[in-house]
A and B are shown apart, each in its own frame.
Chain A
Amino acid sequence: MSDAGYGTAMQHGDPSRGDDGRTAPEEPANNGDGVSSTTRRARAFSAAGLWLAPALIVVLAFALYLYYRSLGFTADSTSTAQRSLDWSSNLWPQLVEHLQIAFGSTVIVVAVAIPLGILLTRPALRRVAPAVLTVANSGQALPAYGLLVLFLLLMGQGKITVIWALALYALLPVLRNTMVGLDGVDTSVIEAGRGMGMTRLRVLVQIELPLAVPVIIAGVRTAVILNIGMATLAFLIGGGGLGITINVGLKLNQDPVLIVGASLVALVALTFDWFGALAERFLRPRGI
């Protein structure tokens, strides 16, 4: 199955995928709803985790807000440090830019990596899969800074350049997870589908993709978080984003600026990670 060499070690997230086995062979044991108590406990636990994260995010956001208030500056302050902390003229536009970059590159990643992953797991193209993975791997292996500079040389300054550079950077997790997810689909399920006269396309759309969804979403989640983190470097080539504020804090040796900038990025990342967790939970097809 994983003869293409992108096997198990790269599986992201989703530890529960292993136990798709059926309950014990004995016939009469199934009078309840059939779900064993351990899976029920695991679910209860993950449900608790799902609602603990936003609580933490709210607490952190509130703490940041109190800290921000306590700095007590005014919008017409003259110091650079204080001006850079102004919400409506600085922080908010940077936050928007930051999200634009992260989203833009994630959209590209999803649009490219998922179809590519599907193609590379089809029998005809399976042989080139390792080569494509090597390219995607090297994208991620390059230092992000270097990648940005490379794209700067190719495409010039600006947000768009950053978006493309980050897209290449975050391609790997989605591509790999799409492939691992599709390859992880039990061959007997595919065999049964084909044996009943389902076309290859129908098997892909109705069987393989739904079953691979949890793994693919785990990959997308990783990509989003990577992109949000990497977007802090966008300012280096004139892409904007919250990286500007962090940079000001560093340059001027102003801890409050540094703390506000970095905390904002962290909050955004945590929030989107939580969205990812929600997606993993609610887009996962029932029954698996």
Chain B
Amino acid sequence: MSSQPKIHLDKVAKVYPGSKIPAVEALTLDVHEGEILVLVGPSGCGKSTTLRLINRMIEPSSGRILLDGEDVTKGNPDKLRRRIGYVIQQIGLFPHQTISQNIATVPKMLGWDKEKIHEQVEGLLETVGLPPDQYRDRYPKELSGGQAQRVGVARALGANPDIMLMDEPFGAIDPITRERLQNEFLRLQAELQKTIVFVTHDIDEAIKMGDRIAILGERSRIRQCDTPERILSYPVDDFVDDFIGTGSTIKGLNFLKVDSLTLTGYPTLSPGESTETGRSRLREAGREWLVVLDDAGAPLSWANAEHLSGETAGEGEEPGDHLRTDDTLFRALELMVQSSGGMSCVVDTQGRFQGVVQMTDLSKAIRRAQYEARLHYEELESRA
């Protein structure tokens, strides 16, 4: 990781007047340049409060906030906020201003000249996938929820901030549109490389969006902060385990790729080879099935001893869809449960047969990931 975190929270706490229990208790957290850090936790854990402490929409009671090593805890909060993009669930577009006026809000405050603002607005509309000709003069009420949220993102990007704070930005959007916006946003982020703090209560969204996830408990205490893979493989305590819920192992398969597996040799039968050869290969390998290949080396069908009993290979079982080496193990699992033999063929980019993935490969991969994660935590502990 880079030497200096982009955002550093140093024992930041918030105690509301008249309340003895702090809403946020001495939180120390680093956010690195160009990453999406997701704050996730049950409702009322203070994750939104934590987010709003960063741009001082809520003033911290104690502690320091450093951006690029510069202490921003004192000083003008309005100036600070103009450096930070801010997206909220309700979006909060100004209903009496056109889309382009909305997006121009921060550039105008910063005193950009008209020409530059115009270019910026057009560029941002393109970026979020809304053709400027069609959208720049519309009013917010003429947009659907998804379009409004895109404008919200464009507005937050208004003056090219390198930090963005997003408070459940896709929370109020229907699931299909949400998924599309998430994907679009990830694509956008791959290009823009902003430093993003993202709040959600949805662990699946956290897993999908986060480079790292901070799971927060009561009073915004960090229970675990790590990559989604590691959290899924090795939840540090029952709280985290409960929170990520059942099926976390299966979700973890999304982070493992087919090419991370060592594919074991598997009997095949090329065109021109006799069924006799096939039968002996089955016996040698001690397998029930082999893969019949076509001229190009692509899997044609699954065949067992019965299919191979005649002079020519009989009609085998359909092989179904093939896995590519860059597919996730989640996809592998999906194909396997659909296949009759509980196995799935892996092909390379040219479609040539590479090997077979079966259930035991998946469990091995999962156990290895869990082992590595545990090792990582034991190492951390021994260093501490």
Contacts and interface: CB of A to CB of B under 8 A. Distances in A.
Interface stretch (A26-34, A166-174, A247-255): A26-34
A206 B83 CA distance: 20
Interface in B213-244: none
A257 interface: no
Contact of B78 (A24, A33, A197, A210): A197
B95 A197 contact: no
Given A22-B144, A23-B143, A25-B145, A196 B81 contact: yes
B106 interface: yes
B183 to A, nearest CB: 14
Given A196-B106, A197-B106, A23 B142 contact: yes
Contacts of B173: 25
Given A196-B105, A287-B97, A22 B146 contact: no
Contacts of B79: 197
Contacts, number: 115
Say whether chain A's binding surface is mostly helix, strand, loop, or mixed.
loop
A199 B155 CA distance: 17
A24 B148 CA distance: 11
A185 to B, nearest CB: 9
A198 B105 contact: yes
A99 B145 CA distance: 49
B114 interface: no
A22 B88 contact: no
Contacts of A207: 94
Nearest to A189: B92
Nearest to A284: B96
A287 B57 contact: no
Contacts of A14: none
A153 interface: no
A211 B86 CA distance: 22
B324 interface: no
B96 A195 contact: no
Given A25-B145, A30-B143, A198-B105, A192 B55 contact: no
Nearest to A202: B109
Interface residues of B, number: 41
Interface in A262-288: 285-288
A22 B140 contact: yes
A160 B177 CA distance: 63
Contacts of B94: 189, 192-193, 206-207
Nearest to A194: B57
A76 interface: no
B85 to A, nearest CB: 8
Contacts of B88: 188, 191-192, 195
A214 to B, nearest CB: 10
Interface string A174-206: 000000000000101111111111110010001
Contacts of B156: 196
Contacts of A196: 81-82, 86, 105-106, 109, 155-156, 158
Contacts of B152: 192
B95 A20 contact: yes
B92 A193 contact: yes
Given A188-B92, A198-B105, A288-B95, A34 B86 contact: no
A124 interface: no
Interface string A50-79: 000000000000000000000000000000
A26 to B, nearest CB: 6
B106 to A, nearest CB: 5
Interface string A201-240: 0100011001100000000000000000000000000000
A196 B139 CA distance: 19
Contacts of B177: 25-27
Interface string B147-188: 110001001101000000000000001100100000000000
Contact of B96 (A34, A188, A194, A286): A286
A196 B87 CA distance: 9
A195 B143 contact: no
A35 interface: yes
| Residue among A23, A25, A34 with most chain B CB within 10 A | A25
Interface of A: 20-27, 29-30, 33-35, 186, 188-199, 202, 206-207, 210-211, 285-288
9 contacts: A22-B148, A25-B173, A34-B138, A191-B92, A194-B81, A196-B82, A199-B78, A285-B96, A288-B95
10 closest Cβ pairs, A-B complex: A192-B92, A34-B142, A287-B139, A188-B90, A197-B81, A197-B82, A285-B96, A195-B86, A188-B92, A25-B145
Interface of B: 55, 57, 77-83, 86, 88, 90-98, 105-106, 109, 138-148, 152, 155-156, 158, 173-174, 177
Given A23-B143, A188-B90, A188-B92, 12 more contacts: A22-B140, A25-B145, A34-B143, A188-B88, A189-B94, A192-B93, A192-B94, A193-B94, A193-B105, A196-B81, A197-B82, A197-B109
